[in-house]
Chains A and B, each alone.
Chain A
Amino acid sequence: MDWDALWLTLRLGGLTVLTLIPVAVICGRWLAVRSFKGKPIVQAALALPLVLPPTVLGFYLLVALGSGSWLGSAYERLFGHGLVFSFQGLLVASVIVNIPFAVQPIQRAFEAIAPDLREAAATCGMSWWRMMRRIELPLAWPGILTGMVLTFAHTLGEFGVVLMVGGSIPGETKTIAISIYDRVQAFDTVAAGRMAAFLLAISIVAIALSYALTGRVGRRHA
């Protein structure tokens, strides 16, 4: 078992969720309540990572984050090392790849809130923040939770983009999915099998947890 890779993968998953979910909540709610010209284009752009081959996405991220780009060179000037083939670069890539997994369930959850509840909140004298805290976020919570679980589980298994942007540097960018691939290449099927089983178990627990929690919230409202 490649414990380094496992720890790195869990860290990457956790940090991706922490970084992406606040943005996804803002973005998902905005898409749910606003209608504007070009909304289909925005939505299509956000869904793009779902349909793009990971290597294509990885290639563009590599170009966009590399030292040849303004982002990559600005990062290098600030932190003294490049963004690609580093954990930070991997995190940026992971956040971008996971946008649809986080935004879509959250957007659906906000869309499902009846508009007259927002109006009722206003006629109750609630401020925007209070309405978000007391009404909208609790009602959208199952969707937010689903977004978190999907993002985390998807990060654990992401392969193509990680390989393109991160390479396979042990302790820095070598995730468990890549470690499994390495072990298979080295005909070490026992180690590969162990790690694959572990990844499978984590994924099942995560999905089951999400269903159990959203089911409980659903019953409360029924």
Chain B
Amino acid sequence: MLLPGAWGGAMHDAAPMQAGLDVKLRQERSIPLDLAFSVAPGEILALVGPSGSGKSTTLRAIAGLYTPAGGRIACNGSIWLDCEAGTDLPGRRRRVGMVFQSYALFPHLSATENVMEALGALPRDERRALARALLARFHLDGLEDRLPASLSGGQQQRVAVARALARKPHVLLLDEPFSAVDRVTRRRLRRELVELRRELSMPTILVTHDLSDVIRLADRICVLQEGRILQTGKVEEVMARPANATVAELLDLEDEDDPVPAGRGLTASPWHGA
């Protein structure tokens, strides 16, 4: 199972200098933020934290949908945001693919047209062919002409992922991508994303409430609270050695419908220190 030719190639382009995503955000007013992290090409970083911890704001700042008071965001060597220098590239000029929590599919456009809208200035026929190839990659063949409302939650999510990838993004942002579907669909979609990630070479950020998403998908985890990073590191390490009681408590907030596999959960390796 591979992405259509054009994508496979594009996603494995030779990485330019300073490959990956660098994020530093800092502001005191409205939503307090004081954090810095990097995501390497091909790496998935999970942002975890209680609601109001700044996860979504961070994601939106990277996508150019929110301008923080201070900070710097660079991707593959190009500056997207530099508050000191007054640089603030609008969202449409940042090469991001974003899957919204509610998917935000255009309700009046078919699945194909939704994906076509993200394919920019290519000729219409070419866009249509590419969109159909992408949809087929996500097992949506036969549903190309359906409007979002006549697709199931899982199918809508796949259209949203296809649309996010259509632009050949330099960064992929997933905002609670499984929160709007039932448990069974959630597992299936997660499995698909696990398969897909082998083909993706861009940095990916996953915002989630669910620890089992983190364990199955992410390479690294970044635990946020009130706009600050409490701990960041490899998923196994943070799970095994939470830096303090707050982190341990935050990571234990997961729902219990999807048991953590042995050896990767808190129960299997007690945390040290407080």
Given A122-B64, A123-B98, A125-B118, are A114 and B90 also a contact pair (CB < 8 Å)? no
Q: Mark B147-172, 1 if CB is under 8 A from A, else 0.
A: 10100000000000001101100000
Given A117-B106, A119-B91, A220-B108, are A124 and B63 also a contact pair (CB < 8 Å)? no
B65 CB-CB contact with A under 8 Å: yes
B219 CB-CB contact with A under 8 Å: no
A126 CB-CB contact with B under 8 Å: yes
Q: Mark A117-151, 1 if CB is under 8 A from B, else 0.
A: 10111111111000000110011000000000000
Q: How far is the CA of A127 from the CA of B120 in the complex (A)?
A: 9
Q: Mark A190-222, 1 if CB is under 8 A from B, else 0.
A: 000000000000000000000000000000111
B107 CB-CB contact with A under 8 Å: yes
Given A114-B102, A119-B65, A221-B147, are A124 and B163 also a contact pair (CB < 8 Å)? yes
Q: Which of B104, B120, B167 contacts A116 (CB 8 A)?
A: B104
Interface residues in B85-144 (C-beta closer than 8 Å to A): 90-93, 95-98, 100, 102, 104-109, 117-118, 120
Q: Which of B63, B93, B96, B104 contacts A117 (CB 8 A)?
A: B104
Q: How far in angstroms is the closest Cβ of chain B from A119?
A: 5
- A125 and B147 contacting across the interface, CB-CB below 8 Å: no
- A122 and B65 contacting across the interface, CB-CB below 8 Å: yes
**Interfacial chain B residues near A126, Cβ < 8 Å:** 92, 117
**Interfacial chain A residues near B167, Cβ < 8 Å:** 124-125
**Interfacial chain A residues near B91, Cβ < 8 Å:** 119, 122-123
- B118 and A221 contacting across the interface, CB-CB below 8 Å: no
Q: How far is the CA of A125 from the CA of B165 in the complex (A)?
A: 12
- A120 and B100 contacting across the interface, CB-CB below 8 Å: yes
Classify chain B's interface size: 20 to 34
Q: Which of A120, A125, A139 contacts B104 (CB 8 A)?
A: A120
Q: Mark A87-126, 1 if CB is under 8 A from B, else 0.
A: 0000000000000000000000000001011011111111
**Interfacial chain B residues near A138, Cβ < 8 Å:** 108
- A121 and B102 contacting across the interface, CB-CB below 8 Å: no
Q: How far is the CA of A122 from the CA of B118 in the complex (A)?
A: 9
Residue of B60, B65, B166 contacting most chain A CB atoms (<10 Å): B65
Q: How far is the CA of A122 from the CA of B88 in the complex (A)?
A: 14
**Interfacial chain B residues near A121, Cβ < 8 Å:** 92, 106, 117
**Interfacial chain B residues near A120, Cβ < 8 Å:** 98, 100, 104-106, 163
Given A125-B167, A221-B149, are A119 and B100 also a contact pair (CB < 8 Å)? yes
Given A122-B90, A124-B118, are A114 and B104 also a contact pair (CB < 8 Å)? yes
Classify chain A's interface size: 10 to 19
Q: How far in angstroms is the closest Cβ of chain B from A9?
A: 35
**Interfacial chain B residues near A117, Cβ < 8 Å:** 104, 106-107
**Interfacial chain A residues near B105, Cβ < 8 Å:** 120
Residue of A117, A119, A125, A126 contacting most chain B CB atoms (<10 Å): A125
Q: How far is the CA of A221 from the CA of B109 in the complex (A)?
A: 9
- B106 and A123 contacting across the interface, CB-CB below 8 Å: no
Q: How far is the CA of A218 from the CA of B28 in the complex (A)?
A: 44
- B102 and A116 contacting across the interface, CB-CB below 8 Å: yes
Q: Which of A116, A125, A134, A221 contacts B92 (CB 8 A)?
A: A125
Residue of B63, B104, B166 contacting most chain A CB atoms (<10 Å): B104
**Interfacial chain B residues near A220, Cβ < 8 Å:** 108, 147
Q: Which of A116, A124, A139, A221 contacts B117 (CB 8 A)?
A: A124
Q: How far is the CA of A139 from the CA of B104 in the complex (A)?
A: 14
Q: Which of A114, A116, A123, A221 contacts B97 (CB 8 A)?
A: A123
Q: How far is the CA of A180 from the CA of B249 in the complex (A)?
A: 79
Q: How far in angstroms is the closest Cβ of chain A from B66?
A: 9
Residue of B96, B106, B164, B167 contacting most chain A CB atoms (<10 Å): B106
**Interfacial chain A residues near B102, Cβ < 8 Å:** 114, 116
Residue of A116, A117, A123, A221 contacting most chain B CB atoms (<10 Å): A123
13 contacts between A and B (CB under 8 A): A114-B102, A114-B104, A116-B104, A120-B106, A121-B106, A121-B117, A122-B92, A123-B63, A124-B118, A124-B163, A134-B106, A135-B117, A221-B108
- List the 9 shortest-distance A-B pairs measured between CB atoms, nearest first: A122-B91, A120-B104, A124-B118, A116-B104, A123-B98, A125-B92, A119-B65, A221-B107, A122-B92
Q: Which residues on A are within 8 Å of B, measured CB to CB?
A: 114, 116-117, 119-127, 134-135, 138-139, 220-222
Q: A117-B107, A120-B105 are in contact. List 14 more A-B contacts (CB 8 A).
A: A117-B104, A119-B63, A119-B65, A120-B106, A121-B92, A122-B90, A124-B163, A125-B93, A125-B120, A125-B167, A134-B117, A135-B106, A139-B107, A220-B108
